[in-house]
């Protein structure tokens, strides 16, 4: 997409790695990153954060190997600009509310929201604190949400202009003429869907009595470093335990998100659990199918 800018809202793990990916691919003419707050004491501190990652190393090693030199240069504090691997990158640090981010003035038409905070596509742009629709109000044409949708009002259906689309599963459901808010679900849902769909296609949902799954997942930013007293209203007390010392049983929304992309799953009994372990990257999903008949005779098991 030459002469088009990509917007990235949020600069956590997903936001940072999205920057790394796009300065490598160079499908857009520039990248505009909204952090929404001051970072450190200067733009150099932002550049250092983008450059180095405790899990994945440095961006220049990621791009060119261990002998590579720094690829971030031409920092301009006043404009918030820099170049990364030769690609212009603009850093915005003024507002977190999506509708107030100046996407239009920067030529941004596609925004990737990596904050994990704006997941309800039913909320209006004027919702206090902001909403994912604020990006559209601010000039974007498409918003990709890096997390599953989470609608607060359970009686409200998914809006017609929103869709959950997984590559290799239901990407044909995406209609560019009407869908403006797109979720790619979660990492667990992507993993689970590519296990379930071929089994479902082969046997048919009529022969699958139940499906159970457990995902063993590394820690996320929502967990705590040291034990803390639960906040008012906290229901999942295990998440208040230190990520360093505990294997933490918790919940996963993967099954619900899976039903959005493979509707037949709704007709099958489905159980899903999640375990968080003291590690910083990676996960595994274990799925058990209870199938009517003798699957040992079928080539799918070989």
Residues known to be catalytic: 187
Nearest to 53 by CA among 82, 12, 87, 83: 12
**CA 58, CA 258: separation in Å to the nearest integer?**
34
Q: Under a CB-based contact definition with an 8 Å cutoff, are residues 93 and 81 in contact? A: no
**CA 226, CA 285: separation in Å to the nearest integer?**
27
- Cα angle 180, 181, 185; round to 5: 145
Q: Under a CB-based contact definition with an 8 Å cutoff, are residues 130 and 96 in contact? A: yes
**CA 118, CA 35: separation in Å to the nearest integer?**
14
Q: Under a CB-based contact definition with an 8 Å cutoff, are residues 112 and 16 in contact? A: no
**CA 205, CA 199: separation in Å to the nearest integer?**
9
């Amino acid at each position: 997409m030459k002469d088009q800018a990509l917007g990235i809202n949020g600069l956590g793990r997903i936001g940072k790695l999205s920057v790394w990916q796009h300065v490598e691919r160079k499908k857009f003419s520039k990248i505009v990153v909204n952090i929404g707050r001051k970072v450190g004491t200067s733009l150099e501190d932002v550049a250092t954060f983008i450059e180095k990652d405790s899990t994945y190393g440095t961006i220049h090693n990621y791009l060119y190997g261990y002998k590579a030199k720094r690829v971030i240069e031409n920092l301009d504090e006043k404009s918030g600009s820099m170049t990364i691997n030769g690609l212009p990158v603009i850093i915005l640090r003024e507002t977190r509310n999506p509708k107030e981010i100046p996407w239009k003035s920067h030529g941004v038409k596609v925004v990737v929201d990596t904050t994990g905070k704006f997941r309800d596509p039913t909320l209006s742009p004027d919702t206090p604190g902001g909403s994912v629709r604020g990006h559209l109000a601010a000039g974007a044409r498409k918003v990709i949400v890096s997390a599953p949708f989470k609608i607060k009002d359970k009686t409200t259906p998914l809006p017609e202009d929103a869709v959950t689309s997984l590559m290799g599963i239901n990407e044909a459901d995406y209609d560019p003429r009407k869908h403006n808010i797109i979720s790619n679900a979660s990492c667990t849902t992507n993993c689970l869907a590519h296990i379930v769909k071929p089994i479902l296609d082969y046997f048919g949902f009529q022969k699958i009595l139940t499906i159970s799954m457990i995902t063993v997942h590394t820690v996320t930013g929502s967990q705590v470093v040291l034990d803390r007293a639960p906040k008012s209203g906290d229901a999942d007390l295990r998440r208040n335990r230190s990520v360093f010392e505990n294997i933490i049983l918790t919940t996963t929304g993967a099954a619900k998100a899976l039903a959005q992309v493979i509707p037949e799953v709704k007709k099958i009994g489905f159980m899903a659990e999640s375990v968080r372990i003291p590690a910083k990257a990676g996960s595994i999903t274990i799925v058990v199918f209870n199938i009517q008949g003798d699957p040992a005779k079928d080539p799918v098991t070989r």
